[in-house]
Amino acid sequence: MSSPKSLIVALLTVLGSTRQLPGPPYFRNSTPHDLPHGALAGDLGAQAGDLWNSPPPADDGQWSKAICKGKTLLTGMRSSDLDAGLLLNPPRQSARSEFVDFPNEFHEWNYRQRDALDDNLLFGEFDWFWGIARALRDLGVSQKPTLDGGKNFINKMFHGNLDLAESGTTPLPDQKYLVDGKEYTATGASFLYSINPQDGVLMALSLSSPQHAVASWNPPLPADQLPKLQKSSDVAWGIWKMRAGTNVKNLRYFLALTVINELTNRILIRATGGRVQPWPGVTFTSETEEASALLGTPNSVAIGYLLMQHKEELGNRWVSAVRVFHCDTDHKTPCLLYYITDGQ
């Protein structure tokens, strides 16, 4: 019988699909990169058992810059909408995102929601695949997908028509759409999340932004062809709002799994003193320098902006603590847990 690792390698030929897609340059696995304001989850290839290689700790310049950014986000989360807007660059009279009308925003910008378990059942395997089940049990929340009687919806938001691209009927570069009279091109961007509105849990499983998704296209896609709706904070909010409904204010935990961004890893290595521990790991409360540095990393700014830019729906919710640990996987890739709290 095949080992679990060899099974995963065989199944995960591309991000988010068990079926062979048309090859490069139009599809590629998720690799380390910075998403704009983005929470970057991991390369699914890492799930095949590659041991995570710890980078050197952040230098003083990286550490100081992350602290500054994290403190600004914390201030914005706990401030009024007006004061939060003034912290943005350039300053605005409101921090509110321009993307608030979901699901219409997704429709307008050519995103299609898919049940990720239709593509790959492993995406709902929280125990040995994602290695997060023990942490979820200790938090007292569901550790199973809805398919197995749990409360977690596993959804993928895909930019373009995946079925047409897979079949070869219409490759991504030929998939065009109009917004305000301007023509744009589908990119194949993919945002994979687990959403549990009842328990208040949102997990970023694997993300590939429009900019990253077309990075290897030849000829390259002009920058003005990328959708304006592309920041992971906006996509995460849209997915949460659509699933949560009347429970939209019940956002209590945000998790970023299999963190592979180098800068984030360098920051968390410095914060933890050089070694990422298994669950329960180590927790830093918001008043600490370590928490500010972690909140200023590429993986963390998405939850910061999400809370900062949707005060009308969420109130002044903020990240009160950040926990660093590695999930129960062979590769021991770091994971981040953000505790979200009400009040000033």
pLDDT digit string (tens) for 267-278? 999 999 999 999
Whole-number percent of the chain with pLDDT over 70: 85
Question: In a 3-state reduction of DSSP, which class is residue 158?
Answer: strand
Q: What is the DSSP string of 226-289?
A: S-S---HHHHHHHHHHHHHGGGTT---EEEE-S---HHHHHHHHHHTTS-PPBTT-EEEETTSH
Confidence of residue 119 (pLDDT cuts 50, 70, 90): confident
Q: What share of the chain is helix, strand, coil (3-state, %, to 5)?
A: 35, 20, 45
Residue 48 pLDDT > 90 = no
pLDDT of residue 343: 73
pLDDT for the residue 20: 29
Q: What's the pLDDT score for residue 50?
A: 52
Q: How many residues does the chain have?
A: 344
Q: Which residue has the higher pLDDT, 33 or 190?
A: 190
pLDDT over 70 at 17, yes or no? no
Mean pLDDT over the full length of the chain: 87
Question: What's the pLDDT band for 122 if we cut at 50, 70, 90?
Answer: very high
Q: Model-level pTM?
A: 0.86
pLDDT at residue 200, rounded to an integer? 98
Rounded to an integer, what distance in angstroms lies between the CA atom of residue 63 and that of residue 44? 28
Amino acid present at 193: Y
Q: Is the pLDDT of residue 248 over 50?
A: yes
Report the pLDDT value the prediction gives residue 344, as an integer from 0 to 100: 58
pLDDT in tens, 30-43: 322 223 333 334 44
Looking at residue 200, its amino acid is G
Residue pair 340/74 in contact (Cβ under 8 Å)? The answer is no
Of residues 118 and 99, the one with the higher pLDDT is: 99
Q: Are 212 and 41 in contact (CB under 8 A)?
A: no
pLDDT surpassing 90 at residue 9: no
Is the pLDDT at 28 greater than 50? The verdict is no
277-295 pLDDT tens trace:
999 999 999 999 999 999 9
pLDDT at 25 over 90: no
Q: Give the model's pLDDT for residue 8.
A: 39
pLDDT at 24 over 50: no
Q: Average the pLDDT over 172-195 and give the result.
A: 97
